[in-house]
Amino acid sequence: MKGKSMRILSGIQPSGVLHIGNYFGMMRPAIALQAEGEAFYFIADYHALTSVRDPKALRENIRRVALDFLACGLDPERAALFRQSDVPQVTELAWILSTIAPMGLLERSHSYKDKLARGMPPSVGLFSYPVLMAADILIYDSDVVPVGKDQKQHIEITRDLVVKINETFGQSEPDGQIFKLPEPRIQAATEVVPGIDGQKMSKSYGNNIDIFGDEKEMRKRVMSIVTDSTPVEAPKDASRSTIFQLYSLVASKSEIAGMRERFQKGGTGYGNFKKELFEKLWEYFTPMRERREEILADKSYIDNVLARGAKRANEIADQVMTRVRKRVGLR
Ligand code: AMP
Ligand code: TRP
CA distance 204 to 264: 34
Query: Model-level pTM?
Result: 0.95
The amino acid at residue 212 is F
DSSP 8-51: EEEEE--SS--BHHHIIIIIHHHHHHTTSSEEEEEE-HHHHTTT
User: Contact 139/18 with Cβ under 8 angstroms?
Assistant: no
- Amino acid identity, residue 174? P
CA of 256 to the centre of ligand 2 (A): 32
User: In this structure, which ligand is nearest to the CA of 204?
Assistant: 1
Domain boundaries, given as residue ranges, for the chain: 7-190+299-328, 213-284
Compute the distance from residue 22 Cα to the ligand 1 centre, in Å: 4
**CA distances, 202 to each of 22, 82, 105, 142, 197 (Å):** 9, 24, 25, 27, 11
Distance linking the first and last C-alpha atoms of the chain: 31
Per-residue confidence (pLDDT) for residue 189, from 0 to 100 = 84
| Pocket lining for ligand 2, CB < 6 angstroms | 9-13, 44, 47, 133, 136-137, 145, 147, 151, 154
Q: Which of 92, 165, 158 is nearest to 131 (CA)?
A: 158
Q: What is the mean pLDDT of each run of 10 residues along the chain (331 residues)?
A: 79 96 96 96 97 96 98 98 98 98 96 93 96 98 95 98 94 85 93 96 94 98 96 95 98 97 97 98 98 97 98 98 95 83
Q: For the sheet containing 7-12, what is the strand order?
A: 79-83, 38-43, 7-12, 144-146, 183-185
Among 55, 211, 122, 29, CA closest to 8: 29
- What gap in Å lies between CA 235 and CA 268, rounded to an integer? 9
- pLDDT (0 to 100) of residue 1: 46
b/e for 142-155, b at 16 or more Cβ within 10 A? bbbbbbbbbbebbb
pLDDT score, position 2:
47
Give the binding-site residues of ligand 1, using a 6 Å CB cut-off.
Answer: 12-13, 21-22, 25-26, 147-148, 150-151, 190, 192-193, 200-202
- DSSP string of 238-273? GGG-HHHHHHHHHS-HHHHHHHHHHHHH----HHHH
101: CB partners within 8 A, 6+ apart: 128, 131, 134, 161, 164
Q: Strand runs (DSSP E) across 149-211, as ranges?
A: 183-185
The yes/no answer on whether domain 213-284 falls in CATH 1.10.240.10 is: yes
The Cα 25–Cα 122 span in angstroms is 27
CATH class, domain 7-190+299-328, is alpha beta
Give the Å distance between the CA of 66 and the centre of ligand 2.
Answer: 15
**Three-state DSSP class for residue 148:** coil
